[in-house]
Structure 1
Amino acid sequence: MKGSLVSAEILEPYAEALMSAAKSQNITEQIGEDVRSLLSALDNSEELRQFLGNPFVKEADKKAVLGQIAGEGVHPFTRNFLMLLVDRRRILFLEGIAQQYLTLLRELNQTVLAEVISAVELTEAQQQAVREKVQAMTSARAVELSTKIDPDLIGGVIIKVGSQVVDASLRGQLRRIGIRLSSAA
């Protein structure tokens, strides 16, 4: 309940406001790239996450750090949005707002997100095959892949698209064989 309340009260309105501003200026893709860069920075730095979420750190310090991270490559809309989040003490929700913005961007572009878990890194050809399979399953215009490595799969892949899961991993196949054998006994 608490997670959905935060989503409805904070994440969605801020992400929708950013999307609305981006649409009005026809820069939705550029803001999307900025948001992906910010998410990457947050994923790669636990210190940054803690720094932005710390209520004892001064707003000016947070703005200075965000300005350095954003650099000159970030669109002024994105920079202003980050400063607004600091001013309104919502910067600790940056990750959720950014993910919500990307969800809105995918809806706008009729793109689906497919989470692919594999035992080893997928080649470009394998990634393209997964994209084509997901496109056939969903009738989406485009497919965005989020890949993760899980050596416990032994081989194969698990593809998650929304609530659909396609388990083509060796671990999954072995588990299904085990279930069939135990039910036959």
Structure 2
Amino acid sequence: MEQPVASEASTIASGAGGLVDRYAAALYAHAEESRALDAVVSDMDGLGRLIDASADFRRLLASPLIDVKTATAAAQAVLQQEGFGKAVRDFVGVVSVNRRLRELRDIVAAFAGLVARRRGIITAHVASAHPLTDVQRQQLRARLIEAGYGNVNINERVEPDLLGGLIVRIGARLYDTSLKSRLQRLQYAMKGAA
């Protein structure tokens, strides 16, 4: 990636939210300018999946014991082997040289959020006790469309302690139908009746 991205990233304010947002914005601007936005979006999605799936790669990103040169070379080797494009490999190189590999997963998420906002896609963060089936995912998407959320991207995570049901967060709105919450409300109601 070109040097302006690195210099812009080095002038970032101390807040972590600002940091990841600025890195994401810089990558978006570079990808849009070089007319490679769709390829970069695809590669960043793949990078997020790689980080989530590989405990070894997460350890590489989080380790303070690995020097910058070694961490950069190792990250580049993994990305090259996995077939990532030059723009994303260069971007990860800049992130590494700036000693921000620990924030890479957050940067990937911020980039995905930025792309969704620019494309008019609303992200629904869904927590469930068990992985959603395709039918459940389609039903949830249909319900969200009925509720007025047109173009919805569902971001799923499994939280076994919910016991059952769903928690759906869209922006500042929270829809909690989990069994855990229902049991807690019942417990509070029973305490009030006693």
TM-score range, shorter chain: 0.7 to 0.9
The 1:92/1:173 distance shift into structure 2, 3 A limit, reads closer
Q: Say if 2:162 is the partner of 1:153.
A: yes
- My pick for the range that moved more, 44-53 or 160-169, is 44-53
Query: Runs (4+) of structure 1 moved beyond 6 Å?
Result: none
Q: 1:46, CA displacement in angstroms?
A: 4.0
Residue 32 of structure 1 is matched in structure 2 by: 41
CA distance in 2, matches of 1:123, 1:56: 41
Amino acid corresponding to residue 21 of structure 1 in structure 2: H
SS of residue paired to 1:148: strand
Change (3 A) 1:77 1:157: same
Distance 1:155 1:53 in 2: 33
Comparing 102-111 with 56-65, greater Cα deviation is found at 56-65
User: Which residue in 2 is equivalent to 1:16?
Assistant: 25
Task: Identify the residue that residue 133 of structure 1 maps to in structure 2.
Answer: 143
Aligned 8 A contact 1:120 1:150 in 2: yes
| Contact 1:117-1:158 at 8 Å conserved across structures | yes
2:132 aligned to 97, 100, 122, which one?
Answer: 122
Contact kept? 1:110, 1:140, Cα under 8 Å: no
Task: Find the residue that maps to 1:85 and give its secondary structure.
Answer: helix
Structure 2 residue 183 is matched with structure 1 residue 174? yes
- Amino acid corresponding to residue 37 of structure 1 in structure 2: G
> Which 5+ residue runs of structure 1 have no aligned equivalent?
none
The SS at the match of 2:125 is strand
Q: 1:170 & 1:85 partners in 2: Cα distance?
A: 41
Amino acid at match of 1:124: D
After TM superposition, give the deviation of residue 184 of structure 1 in Å.
4.3
How far apart, CA to CA, are the structure 1 residues paired with 2:41 and 2:119?
Answer: 12
- The reply on whether 1:80 has 2:90 as its aligned counterpart is yes
How far the C-alpha of 1:155 sits from its partner, in A, is 2.7
What amino acid maps onto 1:152 in structure 2?
D
Amino acid at match of 1:77: A
Root-mean-square deviation (CA, aligned residues, Å) is 2.6
**Aligned sequence identity (%):** 26
1:142 to 148, 151, 154: 151
Calculate the TM-score normalised by the size of structure 1.
0.81
TM-aligned CA distance change 1:152 to 1:29, over 3 Å: same
- Worse-superposed segment, 46-55 or 143-152: 46-55
Whether contact under 8 Å (2:144, 2:150) holds in the other structure is: no
Per the TM alignment, residue 29 of structure 1 is displaced from its structure 2 partner at its CA by: 3.2
Secondary structure in structure 2 of the residue aligned to 1:144: strand
Structure 2 residue 109 is matched with structure 1 residue 99 = yes
SS of the residue corresponding to residue 66 of structure 2 reads: coil
SS at match of 1:110: coil
Provide the rounded CA distance (Å) in 2 between the counterparts of 1:57 and 1:16: 27
User: 2:6: which partner in 1?
Assistant: none
| d(CA) in 2 for partners of 1:84, 1:73 | 18
Please state whether the residue corresponding to 2:177 is helix, strand or coil.
Answer: strand
* Structure 2 residue runs without a partner (length 5+): 1-13
* 1:66 paired residue number: 75
Q: Distance in 2 between matches of 1:92 and 1:151?
A: 27
After TM superposition, give the deviation of residue 56 of structure 1 in Å: 4.6
> How far is the alpha carbon of 1:20 from its aligned partner?
0.5
